[in-house]
Chain A
Amino acid sequence: MDNASDTNTAYPDANGRFGDFGGRYVAETLMPPILALEKAYEEAKADPSFQKELDYFMTHYVGRPSPLYFAERLTEHAGGAKIYFKRDELNHTGAHKINNCMGQLLLAKRMGKKRIIAETGAGQHGVATATVAARLGMECIVYMGAVDIVRQKPNVFRMRLLGAEVRAVHSGTATLKDAMNEALRDWVTNVSETFYCIGTVAGPHPYPAMVRDFQAVIGREAKQQILEAEGRLPDAAVACIGGGSNAMGLFHEFVPHKEVRLIGVEAAGKGVKSGLHAASLTGGTPGILHGNRTYLLQDEHGQIADAHSISAGLDYPGIGPEHSYLHDIGRAEYVSATDDEALECFQLCARLEGILPALEPSHAIPRTLELAKELGKDGLIIMNMCGRGDKDVFTIADALGEHISEGTEG
């Protein structure tokens, strides 16, 4: 490990704190299992055989390293800095999510846990969890909001094909946050045999740090690849943010390199001023939800507000605590993009680059284009293309007012 990474892993502290954020806000029933998980993870991290097994699967099963691709036509379109995509949408299952699932489920195997539960929003984390669970011969139950089940039908079917049980969650807003509530309820009920595979850099310690570590492969590869391609570090690394795992995965390696701007793009839904958005840092305040203290969308009474985004994967009222920390110390910049901007850039990327981005990274494109102009021709940007858009074609067709058959996709 190089010096940069050493500095980087100074956070969180022993109590799972990134500055004032993070922590372990869970019911007492879950404290012993999260302490046991923390211990097991620390042991696995220090065990070369665990790393070797993870590396094997990352190479031969996930398909890493993912390419760093020069998006030449998008660069021409923007008329400024060179734009590179980190192509994590080319991973097995079509998104960055599997990096984390591979790590967590190998850890579950090591801990002797055979029952895996997960929450999912867009379905990408659910599909990745179901995939790795199938490969490792584990039982898999995925909680998914009833609203998301409707807008992500292809992924629901994929999970079932992979042998997972998808449980619809009707409570609350029937989206990602409610799926997480239900997964926590399952865990508290079936605590001894169950491993909860959280899909993002949120939840109680050690999840934010552990998920970041498993996703950090994105930034490690990207750094090496950009040095090979351009002989220098980028001026900026850009990624979309829901809970923030793909962004943290890209940022982590670059955090100590102060000359690299880190830019997270939240989902502004119908616009931050409209109140219908999912931009926790841009439009939220610190609070406590799902095991951690972080920025949240909430009302004046401390009740959690509904998030809104065309992207099911960004439709979450919180954000990983490390992002809250990077925001407050000014190390990373957080901006937002609306549903309409994402839709427009989805189409632009499809036509100029022949890549259908998922709706989630489609949010990062408009800010990347603006930044490219701002930086000018000498600039260099890496944007994380964290997922592919095949799962979103029905949502996009709806938004564009077109009718396509749902019978053949999936």
Chain B
Amino acid sequence: MTHRIDQTFAARRAANQSAFVAYIMAGDPDRAASQAFLNALPDAGVDIIELGIPFTDPMADGIVIENAGIRARESGTTLTSVLDMASEFRKTNDTTPIIVMGYANPLHHMGYVKFAAAAKAAGVDGAIIVDLPPEEDGDLRDAFEVHDLALIRLATPTTDAERLPKVVAGTKGFVYYVSMNGITGDSFAQAGFVTEQVTRVRDAANLPVVVGFGVKTPERAREVAKDADGVVVGTSIVKTLHEDGPEAALALIRSLADATHTPR
């Protein structure tokens, strides 16, 4: 449902702030612990949740998220249980958008029409499917349209001026700008380059632009938030949760959210 997404960005924009987007891997390390962590995210300052769907072959992810996916799968996480987590979350929160993020095959295997209906019923707002470029996402987009779910596209430094209109056409909710050529957890691109790119994508899309890949620290989040409508952090949250536990991860999230929310 795009209205939760739209309202979230509108509220932050009204306060002259950027939104904080946190990625977690659903089911890491197990269902109960992951559910508790998910439920705690809004109070820690998270505006939008990206809920990772584990996949055996995560080609765009670094080792931290790949290993989180292995833990999640070993604890029995499936696409259905990821949606169950969203349902559970919705029992106590009806405002924070949940975007599921992952790879095409689990959705394709369930069937796009069935998945869209199940996601809608679970209170999911949209999806980012890394290996469905505009050329291949038509069937899923059609299924999402029926339920007013947002299929969020990725724009990257290789998305040139000729291609950008094709990428942003048909995207809903926001555009996810991948800050550098690489995989999740790599180092960040030059700040000036990102400013320029965010402006370029926002002008083409007329939608909020969130920036992800490579944001690890509050300092970097604050810097990116000056230009971007949202800042995504994933790898360092997943890493801290695994190595130091949920309290440490929530503390990190609070510091990243505060930095992101610094008024411009």
Contacts and interface: CB of A to CB of B under 8 A. Distances in A.
B60 A188 contact: yes
Interface in B131-172: 131-133, 135-136, 153-160, 163, 167
Contacts of B135: 15, 23-24, 31
Interface in A13-55: 15, 23-33
B158 A33 contact: yes
Point out which of A24, A32, A298, A300 has the most chain B C-beta atoms below 10 A from its C-beta: A32
A25 B136 contact: yes
Contacts of A289: 57, 105
A171 interface: yes
A244 to B, nearest CB: 19
Given A33-B158, A288-B108, A181 B131 contact: no
A32 B162 CA distance: 10
Given A27-B130, A32-B158, A288-B104, A188 B181 contact: yes
Nearest to A189: B182
Given A32-B159, A171-B63, A171-B66, A189 B104 contact: no
A276 interface: no
Interface string A284-308: 0101111101001010111110000
A410 interface: no
A188 to B, nearest CB: 6
A301 B78 contact: yes
A303 B73 contact: yes
A185 B156 CA distance: 15
B178 interface: yes
Nearest to A287: B105
Q: Which of A191, A287, A301 has the most CB of B within 10 A?
A: A301
B40 interface: no
B109 interface: yes
Given A24-B136, A28-B159, A302-B79, 18 more contacts: A27-B154, A29-B156, A31-B133, A31-B159, A32-B159, A32-B160, A172-B56, A172-B66, A178-B57, A181-B59, A188-B181, A188-B183, A287-B108, A300-B109, A302-B107, A302-B110, A303-B73, A304-B56
Nearest to A173: B56
Interface string B68-104: 0000010000111000000000000000000000011
A293 B109 CA distance: 11
B23 interface: no
A204 B2 CA distance: 31
B106 interface: yes
26 contacts: A23-B135, A24-B133, A24-B136, A25-B133, A27-B59, A27-B60, A28-B156, A28-B158, A28-B178, A29-B157, A32-B158, A185-B60, A188-B183, A189-B186, A287-B108, A287-B109, A288-B103, A288-B108, A289-B105, A293-B108, A298-B109, A300-B109, A301-B80, A302-B108, A303-B105, A304-B55
A189 B78 CA distance: 29
Interface of B: 54-60, 62-63, 66, 73, 78-80, 103-110, 130-133, 135-136, 153-160, 163, 167, 178, 181-183, 186
B79 A301 contact: yes
The SS class assigned to the B binding surface is: loop
Contact of A288 (B63, B66, B80, B131): B131
A128 interface: no
A212 interface: no
Nearest to B213: A29
Contacts of A23: 135-136
A24 B132 CA distance: 8
Contacts of B106: 301-303
Interface in A238-297: 285, 287-291, 293, 296
A209 to B, nearest CB: 16
Contacts of A191: 158, 181
A188 B182 CA distance: 5
Contacts of B108: 287-288, 293, 302
Interface string A191-234: 11000000000000000000000000000000000000000000
A58 interface: no
A181 B57 contact: yes
Interface in A354-371: none
Nearest to B107: A302
B181 to A, nearest CB: 5
A314 B104 CA distance: 24
Contacts of A287: 105, 108-109
Contacts of B153: 28
A28 B136 contact: no
* A-B complex: 7 closest residue pairs judged by Cβ atoms: A302-B109, A302-B106, A189-B182, A29-B156, A301-B78, A304-B56, A28-B154
Interface string A130-172: 0000000000000000000000000000000000000000011
Which residue of A31, A190, A298, A300 has the most chain B CB atoms within 10 A of its CB atom?
A: A31
A172 B158 CA distance: 28
